[in-house]
Amino acid sequence: MEIGPAKILRRALGLRPAGPHYFFRRHTVFVRISHWVNAGCLLFLLMSGLQIFNAHPALYWGKSSDFDHPVLSLTAQDTDQGMIGVTQIGPWRFDTTGVLGASDVDGIRTARGFPDWATLPGPQWLAMGRLWHFAFAWLFAINGLLFWAYAAALGHARRDLLPTKGDLAQLPRQIANHIKLKFPRGEGAKRYNTLQKLAYLFVIFGLGPLIVLTGLTMSPTMDSAFPQLLWIFGGRQSARTIHFICAFSFLGFLVVHIVMVILSGGWNNLRAMITGSYAIEDNKDG
């Protein structure tokens, strides 16, 4: 069996399958639309969220801000050599000049948590960042609720996402196959593998609700209507920290997801999420 960069490149470019194959309807219209709406929402939510974070680039745990003991902070410090960026995680401090804490804006070193290329809008503009964030947060939440209703009505979650005992028994072998960049082919490509099922379940039914609930907990209006939220998350500052962790968990998932999409057959996967049609090899030689 051929292994190496040439095989990986052909899969990424969609040049496989080279032999007999047929097309399989992999994703419904609703799943495809929901997928792309979520992708756009997450991009705008992350960038506008970093804009909001820059207004006070520090995280705390508990009900109030403990300025002397942040969980994380991105600050600037003036030295004899000029301004430097300092990232503090618990008791540890790191020089992150040029990226975090202090970065160049129009050629001038500026105190800024995240650089302007990572935020929406680029310039420091809290009010506009909040408008972008809230608009796409509602779209993200509504899209998620519609997907939940769809999954429940058609049995999508139970049929396609819930791992069986057989799936879990195969988990060690599937992890080894992914490390070797050996992905399912033929009939096996019609179904999500165990790693995909666990990842999608965690993101859709774990991270998604958690990031929405922690976002609502940071709103004084929602706290008045649902004071239980503050009790559940241990205070507004704890909710803000969890919200931040969830956001970067989403980012990590997206990076891994994109890499796996490319390595397992970039164009074939992309076509399936645009048109619904996925090319299935008519042989089982891997």
| Structural contact between residues 164 and 72, judged by C-beta atoms closer than 8 angstroms | no
Q: Is residue 263 part of a domain?
A: yes
Compute the average pLDDT of residues 183-189: 81
Highest mean pLDDT among 102-111, 127-136, 156-165: 127-136
Q: Indicate whether 44 and 68 sit together in one domain.
A: no
Q: Indicate whether 93 and 128 sit together in one domain.
A: no
Tens digits of per-residue pLDDT, 23-51?
888 888 999 999 999 999 999 999 999 99
Q: Indicate whether 249 and 137 sit together in one domain.
A: yes
Highest mean pLDDT among 187-191, 252-256, 266-270: 252-256
State the pLDDT at residue 11. Answer: 58
DSSP conformational letter for 269: H
CATH classification of the domain holding 239: 1.20.950.20
Q: Indicate whether 166 and 105 sit together in one domain.
A: no
Residue 249 domain boundaries: 5-57+116-281
Q: Is residue 225 part of a domain?
A: yes
Q: Indicate whether 29 and 122 sit together in one domain.
A: yes
Q: Indicate whether 146 and 193 sit together in one domain.
A: yes
Q: Indicate whether 244 and 123 sit together in one domain.
A: yes
Q: Is residue 286 part of a domain?
A: no
CA distance 86 to 109: 13
Q: Indicate whether 149 and 64 sit together in one domain.
A: no
pLDDT band (50, 70, 90) for residue 13: low
CA distance 142 to 24: 29
Burial class (CB in 10 A: 0-12, 13-18, 19+), 255: exposed
The pTM of this model reads 0.88
Q: Per the structure, how many domains does the chain have?
A: 2
Q: What is the mean pLDDT of the chain?
A: 89
Residue type for position 165: K
Q: Indicate whether 137 and 189 sit together in one domain.
A: yes
